[in-house]
């Protein structure tokens, strides 16, 4: 008989994408092949408490009800090599330690997708799904991503990197600097958020001031970017050294842009798989996605996002997500499904890729 594989699925976390992570985790847990596997779902609350979920119903994870389950136990990953997950009772007495074979961080954004938790996994010596510390950190910071992606020669929107310190010193000088380089409309976005948190499109001076104020609430470093009028084309990349890209898909926000509301609240957005671009452009954008994945040193999986201009089908790289949305309606699993790799096989594949790297 095959050895039992213990897999720890981490979800939640302190980032603004906590809720999305729970919905992704439900889909991952539900679709994960359970044969010969012991699954440990561990949730991180919005204020950073770690708990081993004691319930059976994964729907409670998506809804947030999981936190109230009376069978939950405080648990955390020890940085001590070989110790693994430390489980405690209500008196904070250690009752058990469990060494997982693998950790699947179904976490989005801050502390989950930015290399920090990957650092803990490295210190603990436990294999994990997805990118390593350096690739995760570089892919989370949009200004660093741009500098590395520039080495591939793929076009990007013109941009400026701006800091909170210089904004505080002279806000109007910053507006002038942006206007000297870029024409309206401009996109203003924090370097290290996701889910469009703090992202604005500014069409005039007063919108620009409000956009800067908003973005600097979330980050000390932000981007001002040229507006690209194009289709939003997304590419799912899977693999390590031999990473492959699925047929590119497209999101039509059905709104001014793909903001937080459009992503999670309203239902105006529509997905198209394949993207409504020529076959040649689809092939090309897939090649570009793999190039960028490689340049950033990614491993396992990532979703690489582009704009494709409507008139000439120019491809413009936008950003990369190393732990893309994994809900059952998310683009990443849907694009693989359309290419013949169903959700549960996809999960097996990212797990195998993580173990292959060890
Ligand atoms: N330069 C740009 N031109 C046109 N639209 C943009 C540009 N930058 C961002 N957007 C819009 O804002 C959305 C969110 O920006 P993005 O850079 O993808 O940040 P996030 O990491 O929060 O998803 C994009 O999906 C797109 O709709
Ligand atoms: Mg995006």
- Average pLDDT on 178-196 reads 94
In a mutational test of the pocket of ligand 1, which residue from 160, 215, 318 has the highest number of ligand atoms less than 8 Å from its CB?
318
The per-residue pLDDT for 254 is 87
The per-residue pLDDT for 353 is 97
- Average pLDDT on 26-30 reads 97
The per-residue pLDDT for 324 is 95
Atom of ligand 1 nearest to the CA of 230: 4
Sketch out the chain's domains with CATH numbers: 5-128 (3.40.50.20), 139-155+229-356 (3.30.470.20), 159-226 (3.30.1490.20)
Q: Is the confidence at residue 123, as pLDDT, over 90? A: yes
Whole-number Å distance, alpha carbon 303 to ligand 2 midpoint, is: 10
- Average pLDDT on 235-262 reads 94
pLDDT tens track for 46-97: 999 999 999 999 999 999 999 999 999 999 999 999 999 999 998 999 999 9
Q: Is the confidence at residue 194, as pLDDT, over 90? A: no
pLDDT band at 1 (very low <50, low <70, confident <90, very high): low
pLDDT tens track for 267-294: 788 999 999 999 999 999 999 999 999 9
Atom of ligand 1 nearest to the CA of 305: 18
Atom of ligand 1 nearest to the CA of 225: 1
Atom of ligand 1 nearest to the CA of 227: 3
Q: How much of the chain exceeds pLDDT 70, in percent?
A: 99
- Average pLDDT on 105-134 reads 95
Q: Is the confidence at residue 110, as pLDDT, over 90? A: no
pLDDT tens track for 159-177: 999 999 999 999 999 999 9
Ligand 1 site, CB within 6 A: 157, 187, 189, 193-196, 199, 225-228, 232, 253, 257-258, 305, 318-319
Whole-number Å distance, alpha carbon 279 to ligand 1 midpoint, is: 24
Q: How much of the chain exceeds pLDDT 90, in percent?
A: 89
Map tokens 């990369």 to a residue. Answer: 320
pLDDT band at 260 (very low <50, low <70, confident <90, very high): confident
């Amino acid at each position: 008989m095959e050895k039992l594989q213990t897999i720890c699925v981490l979800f939640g976390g302190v980032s603004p994408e906590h809720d999305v992570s729970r919905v992704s985790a439900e889909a991952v847990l539900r679709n994960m092949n359970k044969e010969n596997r012991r699954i440990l779902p561990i949730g991180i609350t919005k204020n950073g408490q770690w708990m081993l979920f004691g319930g059976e119903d994964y729907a409670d994870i998506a809804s947030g009800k999981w936190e109230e389950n009376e069978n939950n136990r405080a648990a955390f990953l020890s940085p001590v090599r070989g110790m693994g997950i430390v489980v405690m009772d209500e008196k904070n007495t250690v009752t058990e330690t469990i060494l997982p074979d693998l950790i699947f961080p179904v976490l989005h954004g801050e502390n989950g997708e930015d290399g920090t938790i990957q650092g803990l996994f490295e210190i603990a010596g436990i294999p994990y799904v997805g990118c390593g510390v350096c690739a995760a950190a570089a892919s989370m910071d949009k200004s660093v991503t741009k500098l590395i992606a520039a080495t591939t020669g793929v076009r990007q929107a013109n941009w400026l990197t701006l800091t909170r310190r210089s904004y505080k010193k002279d806000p109007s000088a910053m507006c002038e600097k942006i206007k000297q380089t870029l024409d309206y409309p401009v996109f203003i976005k924090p370097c290290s958020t996701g889910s469009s948190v703090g992202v604005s499109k500014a069409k005039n001076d007063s919108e620009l001031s409000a956009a800067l104020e908003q973005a600097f609430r979330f980050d000390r470093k932000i981007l001002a970017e040229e507006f690209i009028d194009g289709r939003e084309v997304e590419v799912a990349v899977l693999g390590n050294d031999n990473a492959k890209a699925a047929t590119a898909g497209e999101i039509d926000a059905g709104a001014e842009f793909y903001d937080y509301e459009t992503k999670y609240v309203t239902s105006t957005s529509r997905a198209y798989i394949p993207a409504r671009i020529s076959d040649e452009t689809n092939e090309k954008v897939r090649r570009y996605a793999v190039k960028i994945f490689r340049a950033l040193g990614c491993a396992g999986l990532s979703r690489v996002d582009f704009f494709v201009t409507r008139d000439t089908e120019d491809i413009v790289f936008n950003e990369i997500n190393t732990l893309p949305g994994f809900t059952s309606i998310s683009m990443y699993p849907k694009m693989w499904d359309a290419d013949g790799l169903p959700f549960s096989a996809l999960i097996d594949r990212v797990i195998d890729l993580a173990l292959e790297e060890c």
